[in-house]
Amino acid sequence: GQQLNQSPQSMFIQEGEDVSMNCTSSSIFNTWLWYKQDPGEGPVLLIALYKAGELTSNGRLTAQFGITRKDSFLNISASIPSDVGIYFCAGQLGTGTASKLTFGTGTRLQVTL
């Protein structure tokens, strides 16, 4: 099955810095989702995007649905230590009650004081 290309794979940043990561696909999607996973836990949904060009915020997080429908971006402003974790993007093409998600390979974020 296809996996989305996510970059960067990992990043070290200092507390207070802004973070940017992106996800690209060779296929178009109707929905983009961004999840965060802490070690040994299940992913938690951060932001959902449903329209090309859509820009959505959730606190210090901002995500955008690329206009081509083949990419998405997640920005974290003023990072704090609890932002540490792995961030996954996921794309969805179909509609209905059980449309499959295609996941990115993840961006591992580490924040230093």
Q: Contact between 106 and other proteins (CB under 8 A)?
A: yes
Is 65:72 a contact under the CB 8 Å cutoff? yes
Among 8, 15, 45, 67, binds other proteins (CB under 8 A): 45
Closest alpha carbon to 90 in 82, 98, 79, 101: 101
CA distance 14 to 87: 17
Residue 52 interacting with other proteins (CB under 8 A): no
Does 5 bind other proteins (CB under 8 A)? Our answer is: no
The answer to whether 47 touches 89, Cβ cutoff 8 Å, is: no
Work out whether 26 is an interface residue with other proteins (CB under 8 A).
no
What are the tokens at 108? Answer: 């591992």
> Are the C-beta atoms of 53 and 3 separated by less than 8 Å?
no
* Residue list 74-93, contact with other proteins (CB under 8 A): 88, 90, 92
For other proteins (CB under 8 A), the number of binding residues is 30
| Least spacing, CB of residue 25 vs other proteins, in Å | 13
Contacting residues toward other proteins, per CB under 8 A: 1, 3-4, 6, 30-31, 33, 35, 40-45, 48, 50, 88, 90, 92, 95-101, 103-106
